[in-house]
Every structure is written in C-alpha cells, then in structure tokens.
C-alpha cells in the first residue's frame, strides 16, 4: 500500500481517536514514513502516536524526527518514558537525544538504564560535536584476530542482533587495537578452520575519534565504504561511522555551505522551526556590511559625474554591465567553493585554475560583448557601443577572476571558502565594474570642450 493511502488512513484514525486502527496502520508503515507524517503535527500529537508504537519501532521513528521536534517531545515525556525511548534507539542517536535533554534530567534517565547502556551513552556523549566520535555508533561486530572462521561466525551470530551493520567485521588484538577487517561474504565462503589472520585485510581505512565529521563523510564517499572504523589515541577500536550517518553529515555540511553562499549564518534548528529573530539575526550582519561595500559603487559613479552628464546614454547600460560581472563572478566562486569542498580542487591548484578561468572568462566576455554591442549601436551609436562592448569583456573577466581567486585567498587565511558568497563577490564585482566602465568611457570618448 502506498504512503499516501497509509497516511490518509492514519490521519482518519487519529481524528476518530481510534487507537486500534492507528496501531494497525502504523504496523504497515516504515519508521521513516511515520516520521514524515508526524513532522508537521504538534508535539503532543506526535507523543501520543509514539506511545502507540511498539518499542522496537518507537526508537527508530523518533530518530527520524527533526532535532527541534525531538526536543519538544522529550520535554513532554516523563523520565521513565524517556529512558525507555533511549533504550530503544541506536547508540549514536541515543547520544544525540541525551544532548537535547536538560542537564537536570540526565542523571534520572541514566539511573533507569542498564549499566552497559549507561556506560556506552556516557562515552558517546563525551565526544565534541562535529567530530567522528559524535556521529559514531558503538554497535559494531569485532572478533579476535587469533580465532578461525567457524569461531568468528559463532561470535557474529551472537553479536548480530545488537549490531548496526554486520557486513564488515573488524579484527582486534587482546588490547582491542584494530588489526584488520573481513567481510561477511569472505567469512561465509571461507573454510571453517581457516585462521582469521590469514583472511583479514590489514590495510584498513580508519579515523580517530577527533577527526572532523566532514572528513569522515569524504572518506566514506571516496572509498565507497559501508562503514568506517574509529579508533582512540591508543589505536583501540571504539566505534564505527556508517554510510547513512555519513550521508546525514554530507547533507548538513552542504546545507551549511549553501547558507554561507548567500551570507546566512548556520541555523540552530530547521528553517521551519526557526524564530523570526533568529532568521533576522543570521541574515542582517552580512547585509549591513555589504551595504557599506556598495558605497564604493556609488563613489565611483560620483567620481565620473562629468562623463555621465556628457553621455547620459551610458547610464542605460550600467545595470547590464555590472550585473554581468557579478553573475560571472558568482558562477566562478560557486565552482571553486564546491570543488574545494569535494576535494577536486586544492590550494596548490590556484595557478592552473587561474589560467583556465582567464580563457573561459575571455570567451564569455567576447560572446556577451557581441550580443550587447548590437543593442548599443541601435540605442546610442557606434562609439558608445564600442565602449560598452569593451567594458563587457573586461568586467566579465575581472568579475570571474575575483570569484575564482577569493575562495583561494580565504582558504589561505584559514577562513571557510564558502564565505566567498554570491553577495560578497557581487558587491566587489559591482564596484570594479563601475570603475572600469566609466574609466573606459572617459578615456575613449573624452569630455566635450
């Protein structure tokens, strides 16, 4: 049955407050679909729905909800209800929820967990946000390196129910240090008495618990991994980051870069739940700064007042020219920022990128100059058309080079290249365009005596 039909049936059952019908419908829905249905419902309605779910389904469903909604629901739950929810969640999501709970409630929740869950939660919650430790899970399968395949399969059967993934099994020594890895496929196909040490791959890609989460996401994508092992300072295996968590990190980082690209600070929650004040605060700083940056454009126009008075037709082409420079610069900046984010472009590549951008920008400028010169001839004559066409070439080239170089300059000074945002590049390109246009016009046309 499709999600649309199930969602309509669930809504109808909830409006009738038919708990039997609600339980029947949700039993046929995936946790992600239940979370999608609940995303726009009030917290008390979602809490009632969660309480009707089996415990095995409650934790995964809650894990799909947005952070702000999780916090609101957690505030309405008793300590006992919250502890049961924590127990039903995956280890990494459990730690995320624990961070959302008020510090005063945390000891009461910990007391109701088993010792193993309590120790595991404390460990995972201790890692700094934005690191591999904060997104890893402790629910993985590890086997000693000195056993054979039959013993490893026996251990796997015992560990599988609690593991987040069993397709990759990690091999450790007696101190718990990572020594290698073996796939489930290899175990199944290997002879039962073959030592694991002869089967495992020793050259394993891993990260430390302090590795930035964006680097973890990049490595998983680069090596096409299902999971990435995480070690501590003593090389002991402490967790894994699975590909689904890496996808969440990649989405979060991409969203943050997009916000920076239009001069918006990072939102604490979702756009839907953000307050008016937060949206205002995240947007106002750069907009005010760029207002003052645009004063340079006004100063450039004021400096060439005599040229403008002598050739008023020049004003007609001003928005067209400066916008073209800003647009070209924004395109170049976007390409460079994304290339840096994916690792396709590095700081040392700036000279190569500069040479290519000069060629591309020249081609773009000439093409756009040809198009605008036709308008210039019919609008203001051959002389002004020549000024406009030449200005277009130079403005597009300068705007493109500004957009291409600014991310490299920012990275050189340890500033996030995503800060080379479209508004910033456009403001710089606009001021440059004004100066180039009127300086050329003054030089070529001169002033009437």
Q: What is the 3-state secondary structure (H, E, C) of 327-392?
A: HHHHHHHHHHHHHHHHCCCCHHHHHHHHHHHHHHHHHHHHHHHHHHHHHHHHHHCHHHHHHHHHHH
Instruction: Report whether 308 contacts 397 (CB < 8 A).
Output: no
The per-residue pLDDT for range 305-318, each reduced to its tens digit, is: 888 888 888 888 89
Instruction: Output the CA–CA distances (angstroms, integers) from residue 386 to 107, 315, 380, in the order listed.
Output: 76, 15, 10
CA distance 329 to 197: 55
Mean pLDDT of 197-219: 91
Please say if the pLDDT value at position 221 is more than 70: yes
- pLDDT at residue 383 in the model: 87
DSSP string, 88-111: TS-HHHHHHHHHHS-TTTHHHHHH
Instruction: Report whether 110 contacts 79 (CB < 8 A).
Output: no
Please say if the pLDDT value at position 420 is more than 60: no
DSSP at 201: B
Instruction: Report whether 25 contacts 6 (CB < 8 A).
Output: yes
Please say if the pLDDT value at position 237 is more than 90: yes
Residues 6+ apart with CB under 8 A from 8: none
Mean pLDDT of 209-215: 90
CA distance 123 to 387: 68
CA distance 409 to 116: 49
CA distance 242 to 238: 14
- pLDDT at residue 394 in the model: 95
What band does 191 get if pLDDT is binned at 50, 70 and 90? very high
User: Looking at 261-349, which runs of residues are DSSP E strands?
Assistant: none
- pLDDT at residue 399 in the model: 92
Closest to 417 in 3D by CA, of 319, 339, 314, 324:
339
The per-residue pLDDT for range 258-283, each reduced to its tens digit, is: 766 666 666 666 666 677 877 787 77
What band does 400 get if pLDDT is binned at 50, 70 and 90? very high
Please say if the pLDDT value at position 52 is more than 90: no
Domains parsed from the chain with CATH numbers: 3-128 (1.25.60.10), 142-250 (3.10.580.10), 294-445 (1.10.357.20)
Instruction: Report whether 283 contacts 263 (CB < 8 A).
Output: yes
Of residues 129 and 401, the one with the higher pLDDT is 401
What band does 172 get if pLDDT is binned at 50, 70 and 90? very high
DSSP at 296: H
- pLDDT at residue 149 in the model: 93
CA distance 371 to 382: 14
Please count the helices (runs of H) and the strands (runs of E) in the chain.
Answer: 23, 6
Instruction: Report whether 172 contacts 145 (CB < 8 A).
Output: yes
Please say if the pLDDT value at position 182 is more than 90: yes
Please say if the pLDDT value at position 222 is more than 60: yes
Most confident listed range (143-147, 244-248, 276-280):
143-147
- pLDDT at residue 81 in the model: 86
The per-residue pLDDT for range 277-301, each reduced to its tens digit, is: 777 877 777 777 777 777 878 888 8
Counting residues of the chain whose pLDDT is more than 70, the rounded percentage is 95
| Global pTM value | 0.68
User: At which residue do the structure tokens 């307050």 appear?
Assistant: 275
Please say if the pLDDT value at position 53 is more than 70: yes
Please say if the pLDDT value at position 231 is more than 90: yes
Please say if the pLDDT value at position 449 is more than 80: no
Please say if the pLDDT value at position 185 is more than 80: yes
The per-residue pLDDT for range 348-369, each reduced to its tens digit, is: 888 889 999 999 999 999 999 9
Please say if the pLDDT value at position 446 is more than 90: no
Backbone angles phi, psi at 206, to 5 degrees: -145, 170
What band does 421 get if pLDDT is binned at 50, 70 and 90? low
- pLDDT at residue 168 in the model: 92
Backbone angles phi, psi at 98, to 5 degrees: -60, -35
Instruction: Output the CA–CA distances (angstroms, integers) from residue 53 to 17, 46, 69, 176, 422, in the order listed.
Output: 15, 11, 17, 38, 46
Residues 6+ apart with CB under 8 A from 354: 401, 404, 405
- pLDDT at residue 261 in the model: 63
């Amino acid at each position: 049955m499709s999600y649309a039909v199930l969602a309509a049936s669930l809504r109808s059952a909830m409006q009738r407050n038919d708990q039997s019908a609600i339980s029947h419908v949700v039993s046929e829905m995936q946790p992600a679909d239940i979370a999608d249905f609940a995303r726009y419902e009030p917290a008390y309605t979602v809490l009632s729905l969660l309480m009707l779910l089996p415990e095995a389904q409650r934790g995964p469903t809650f894990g799909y909800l947005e952070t702000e909604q999780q916090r609101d629901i957690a505030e309405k739950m008793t300590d006992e209800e919250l502890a049961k929810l924590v127990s039903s969640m995956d280890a990494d999501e459990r730690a995320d929820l624990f961070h959302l709970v008020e510090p005063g409630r945390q000891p009461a929740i910990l007391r109701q967990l088993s010792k193993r869950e309590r120790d595991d939660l404390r460990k995972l919650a201790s890692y700094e946000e934005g690191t591999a430790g904060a997104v890893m899970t402790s629910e993985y399968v590890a086997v000693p390196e000195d056993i054979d395949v039959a013993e490893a399969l026996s251990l796997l059967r015992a560990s599988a129910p609690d593991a987040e993934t069993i397709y990759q099994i990690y091999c450790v020594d007696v101190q718990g240090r990572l020594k290698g890895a073996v796939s489930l496929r290899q175990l199944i196909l290997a002879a039962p008495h073959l030592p694991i040490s002869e089967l495992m791959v020793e050259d394993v890609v891993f990260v430390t618990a302090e590795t930035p989460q964006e680097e973890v996401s990049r490595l998983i994508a680069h090596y096409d991994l299902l999971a990435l092992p995480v070690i501590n300072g003593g090389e002991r295996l402490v967790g894994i980051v699975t590909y689904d968590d890496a996808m969440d990190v990649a989405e979060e980082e991409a969203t943050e870069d997009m916000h920076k690209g239009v001069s918006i600070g990072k939102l604490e929650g979702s756009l839907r739940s953000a307050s008016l004040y937060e949206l205002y605060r995240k947007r106002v700083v750069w907009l005010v700064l760029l207002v003052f940056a645009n004063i340079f454009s006004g100063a450039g126009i004021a400096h060439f007042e005599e040229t403008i008075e002598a050739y008023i037709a020049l004003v007609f082409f001003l928005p067209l020219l400066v916008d073209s420079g800003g647009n070209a610069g924004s395109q170049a900046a976007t390409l460079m920022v994304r290339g840096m984010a994916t690792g396709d472009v590095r700081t040392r590549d700036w000279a190569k990128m500069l040479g290519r951008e000069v060629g591309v920008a020249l081609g773009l400028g000439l093409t756009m100059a040809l198009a605008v010169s036709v308008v210039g001839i019919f609008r203001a004559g051959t002389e002004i058309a020549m000024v406009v066409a030449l200005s277009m070439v130079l403005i597009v080239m300068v705007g493109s080079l500004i957009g291409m170089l600014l991310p490299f300059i920012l990275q050189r000074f340890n500033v996030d290249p995503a800060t080379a945002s479209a508004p910033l590049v456009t403001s710089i390109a606009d001021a440059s365009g004004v100066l180039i246009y009127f300086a050329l016009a003054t030089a070529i046309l001169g002033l009437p005596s």
